[in-house]
């Protein structure tokens, strides 16, 4: 059951097209998995449409250049690689396939090779261009990310399985936004482990044990 969602203000910004690209991607992927947020976005968009097309709203006529541009776009041929992109609906680790939400499927082909980080923890970097530093992280049963806080923000979406972090327990579809105010230790005790998708804008800062020695190199840990 999905218990953790983007806050309502972020859903409003997302529905209006006003949030930053990284947040928009994460919310879009969460909405793909969450019926509650799908409904919230539909209701927000309906309210926005009412405001836009209310009798009091002055609508300027479209100029001919804009109409020409729209016509040219709609007449463009369908790209040859549309089908192949659509078929990238999952990622694979050791013969295990994980189905991706629609918003992340186009990035499946941009996912690098899996590498073992520490213990039962795996990482596959995702090239998002200028959007942010992204990774798929897989925790086997008993796997854990060393305790850390954040120099910036960390957005996480649970793609498959469950994990806890000392703050709460998270299930498939849950979305979290962590900052320097949070310190946590993500770990999974689920029989099938847990796969998450994360975007960070600054390196992590490890706070306990020998992992603190990694802080000078933390930019490499989630690269």
Rounded to 10 deg, the angle between the 8-15 and 35-52 helix axes is 50
One domain for residues 105 and 18: no
Report pTM.
0.78
* Contact predicate 149/205, CB 8 Å: yes
Contacts of residue 214, Cβ cutoff 8 Å, sequence gap at least 6:
146, 206, 221
What confidence tens digit (pLDDT) does each residue in 169-183 have?
999 999 999 887 878
Three-state DSSP state, 134: strand
Same-domain status, 138 and 216: yes
| 3 in a structural domain | no
Same-domain pairing of 32 and 95: no
Shared domain for 128 and 193, answered yes or no, is yes
Q: Are residues 96 and 35 in the same domain?
A: no
What average pLDDT is seen over the chain? Answer: 82
Cβ count near 210 (within 10 Å): 8
* Spatial contact of 112 and 136, defined as CB atoms under 8 Å apart: no
Instruction: Give the residue numbers spanning the domain of 17.
Output: 8-62
What are 69-87's pLDDT values in tens digits?
Answer: 555 555 655 444 433 344 5
pLDDT tens figures, 107-156: 999 999 999 987 898 999 999 988 888 999 999 999 988 777 777 788 99
């Amino acid at each position: 059951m999905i218990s953790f969602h983007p806050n309502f203000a972020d859903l409003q910004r997302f529905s209006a097209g006003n949030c930053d690209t990284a947040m928009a991607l994460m919310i879009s992927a969460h909405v793909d998995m969450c019926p509650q947020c799908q409904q919230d976005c539909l209701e927000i968009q309906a309210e926005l449409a009412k405001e836009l097309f209310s009798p009091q709203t002055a609508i300027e006529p479209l100029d001919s250049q804009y109409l020409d541009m729209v016509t040219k776009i709609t007449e463009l041929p369908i790209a040859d690689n549309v089908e192949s992109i659509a078929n990238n609906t999952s990622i694979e680790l050791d013969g295990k396939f994980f189905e991706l939400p629609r918003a992340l499927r186009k990035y499946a082909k941009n996912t690098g090779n899996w590498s073992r980080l520490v213990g039962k923890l795996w990482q596959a970097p995702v090239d998002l261009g200028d959007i942010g530093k992204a990774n798929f992280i897989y925790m086997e049963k008993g796997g854990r990310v060393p305790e850390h806080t954040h120099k910036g923000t960390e957005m996480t979406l649970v793609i498959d399985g469950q994990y806890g972090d000392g703050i709460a327990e998270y299930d498939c579809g849950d979305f979290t936004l962590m900052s320097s105010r949070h310190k946590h230790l993500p770990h999974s005790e689920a029989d099938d482990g847990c796969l998450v998708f994360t975007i960070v804008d600054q390196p992590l800062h490890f706070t306990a044990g020998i992992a603190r020695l990694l802080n000078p190199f933390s930019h490499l840990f989630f690269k």
